[in-house]
């Protein structure tokens, strides 16, 4: 289960614990939002893209959050490149609870 909370850290609970951990927070980097429209859609699309590429769920959610962050930085929604999404995903802080 994933609960996104805008600029606040997202909460992720895994049905099957990874490395003994089942609950994570994923904190997006602080940015100056240009346009938040489509951020949730970009999050979902990024997660789906990463899962389809074989990434584990925590990494997939991190990539999805990178897509949402990248989206928020631009006036037009969902104009993303994989390189920029990956750069933003690397800035998302992941912590096990």
Q: Is residue 14 exposed (0-12), middle (13-18) or buried (19+ Cβ within 10 Å)?
A: middle
Extended beta strands in 1-92, E state:
2-5, 8-18, 21-27
Q: Quick one: pLDDT at residue 90?
A: 98
Whole-angstrom distance, CA of residue 94 vs CA of residue 96: 7
Domain of residue 30, residue span: 2-96
Q: How many domains does the chain fold into?
A: 1
The model's pLDDT over 54-78, given as tens digits with 9 standing for 90+, comes to: 999 999 999 999 999 999 999 999 9
Per-residue pLDDT of the chain (97 residues; tens, 9 = 90+): 999 998 999 999 998 776 777 999 999 999 999 999 999 999 999 999 999 999 999 999 999 999 999 999 999 999 999 999 999 999 999 999 8
pTM assigned to the model? 0.93
The CATH number of the domain holding residue 12 is 3.40.1190.20
Q: Give the chain's mean pLDDT.
A: 95
């Amino acid at each position: 289960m994933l609960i996104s909370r805008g600029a606040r850290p997202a909460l992720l609970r895994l049905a099957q614990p990874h490395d003994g951990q089942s609950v994570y927070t994923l904190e997006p980097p602080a940015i100056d939002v240009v346009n938040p429209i489509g951020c949730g859609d970009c999050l979902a699309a990024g997660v789906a893209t990463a899962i389809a590429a074989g990434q584990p769920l925590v990494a997939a959610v991190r990539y999805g959050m990178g897509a949402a962050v990248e989206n928020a930085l631009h006036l037009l929604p969902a104009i993303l490149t994989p390189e920029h999404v990956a750069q933003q995903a690397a800035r998302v802080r992941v912590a096990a609870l």
